[in-house]
């Protein structure tokens, strides 16, 4: 059971480039999330999804886009990378209400924009 898998683990982007951070879970969880963690800061919610075809903005959505075409996959797209997007990105999933406790996180993607 792999849990939540994120790729790539590390990436360096130039300003203005674009990329997609991949996230896949094999636990059949309805809910999926993207968080970013800046140095010395907590995790801030970028986007989340309550099921395939349904996504919504979190606390810091600007500069990002997501899609949820399947239950398993929840990719995060950066269109025009900016230095402010240098961060560690975590994808997570969780089961429906009453069916378990706690998020399952991926191991993170460390992104540097130069």
Partner 1 sequence: DQQVKQNSPSLSVQEGRISILNCDYTNSMFDYFLWYKKYPAEGPTFLISISSIKDKNEDGRFTVFLNKSAKHLSLHIVPSQPGDSAVYFCAASGRNSGGSNYKLTFGKGTLLTVNP
Residue number with CB closer to partner 1 (56 or 79): 56
Q: Which of 11, 19, 27, 31 binds partner 1 (CB under 8 A)?
A: 31
How far is 42 from 55, CA to CA, in rounded Å? 22
Terminal CA-to-CA distance of the chain, rounded, Å? 36
From residue 93 to residue 112, the character string flagging contacts with partner 1 as x (rule: CB under 8 A) and all else as - is: -x-xxx--xxxxxxxx----
The contact pattern for partner 1, residues 32-71, with x = CB under 8 A and - = no contact, is -x-x----xxxxxx--x---------x-------------
Among residues 6, 9, 24, 33, the alpha carbon closest in space to that of 103 is found at 33
Look up residue 70 and give its two tokens. Answer: 């399947």
**3 state SS of 14:** coil
Kindly tell me which of 17 and 22 has the beta carbon lying closer to partner 1.
22
The values of phi and psi at residue 85, to 5°, are: -95, 5
Site residues, partner 1 (CB under 8 A): 4, 31, 33, 35, 40-45, 48, 58, 90, 92, 94, 96-98, 101-108
């Amino acid at each position: 059971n792999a849990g939540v898998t994120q790729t790539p683990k590390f990436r360096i982007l130039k300003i203005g480039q674009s990329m997609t951070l991949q996230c896949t879970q094999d636990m059949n969880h309805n809910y999926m999330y993207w968080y970013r963690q800046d140095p010395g800061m907590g995790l801030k919610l970028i986007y989340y999804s309550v099921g395939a075809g349904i996504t919504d903005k979190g606390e810091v959505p600007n500069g990002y886009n997501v899609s949820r075409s399947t239950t398993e996959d929840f990719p995060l797209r950066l269109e025009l990378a900016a230095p402010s997007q240098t961060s560690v990105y975590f994808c997570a999933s969780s089961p429906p209400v009453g069916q378990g406790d706690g998020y399952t996180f991926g191991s993170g993607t460390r992104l540097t924009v130069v």
